[in-house]
Amino acid sequence: MERTVNSFLQHLVVERGFAQNTLDAYSSDLNQFRAFVKDNLDAPAEQETWRLVDINLLNSYITDLRDNRGYRETTTARKVAAVRSFFGYLSRNGLITDDPTENLGSPRVGRSVPKFITEDEVKQLLGTAADTGTPEGRRDASILELLYATGLRVSEMVGLNVQDIDFEEGFIRTWGKGAKERIVYVYPEALSHLRAYIGGARVELLGNKRGETALYVNQRGERLTRQWVWNILKASAKKAGIDTKITPHTLRHSFATHLLQNGASLRHVQELLGHSSISTTQVYTHLTDSHVREEYERSHPRA
């Protein structure tokens, strides 16, 4: 059983270019499902095990996730989606004759409205972060400025190398979900922060590790991790006196929301965020409803 799951995970890396954090989630979900199947199905061999999984066992698994383990609907839906993908792989490769997930129900999950901070809070956050003279502080200021300037995911941010930046044209080349390459544009102030960081603080942080290609490095001259960026943002928000819980994704949501509020088209925001479907980007329209109302009342001659 484990061998088949590992084969599928390898397929996700090689054929579909899944990022490590997505792969980790699939691995966790499928190994949990594998343990459930092993405990609830008596099969003579691994290959036979997957053939014997049916809709009743799958429904029992969903019940176990909800009632016994207490998972939320969003988590349960994600785990069910991983199982669907796995059995689709088994079916396409002739490892099973019938896909038991074809008629499997899944929790209906409403799309949550992303949390964002106001433009004034962004100014407060970036202004406070810039008010430091240490190499780490100058690095942190550059990171926060670039996150808001580009709407990058934190995984994309920590994956950047120095050679991905084109200062002349004012853009960065990055690789998003599914290893899809895209161009993100950077406004002049963020570029200025970035140039100063590369020529100053980064050199100090690298020490004798001059061969490191990572754009953002820690005090040992090694590439920053996603968790490190989370901690930087948490500390900066606290220092700025912002009570709202802020994550790197909060800046990404703020980036998208503020663009739409200031007149950017949904299609252009979709491209900047790297969303494969515009339906993913449409969730941000809920955030701009009040802005649209204000514009209506301001602009309509009889409003």
- Catalytically active residues are 153, 177, 249, 252, 275, 284
DSSP class of 67: I
Phi and psi, residue 212, nearest 5°: -70, 130
Tokens at 24, concatenated: 């980790």
In angstroms, the CA 9 to CA 85 distance is 11
Torsion angle of C-alpha atoms 56, 57, 62, 68, degrees rounded to 10: 120
In angstroms, the CA 6 to CA 204 distance is 42
Helix axes 119-130, 135-150, angle to 10 degrees: 160
DSSP class of 217: B
CA distances from 249 to 197, 233, 253, 277 (A): 23, 11, 6, 18
In angstroms, the CA 60 to CA 212 distance is 50
In angstroms, the CA 39 to CA 213 distance is 47
Strand order of the sheet with strand 181-185?
Answer: 165-166, 171-175, 181-185
In angstroms, the CA 68 to CA 205 distance is 49
Taking the alpha carbons at both ends of the chain, their separation in whole angstroms is 66
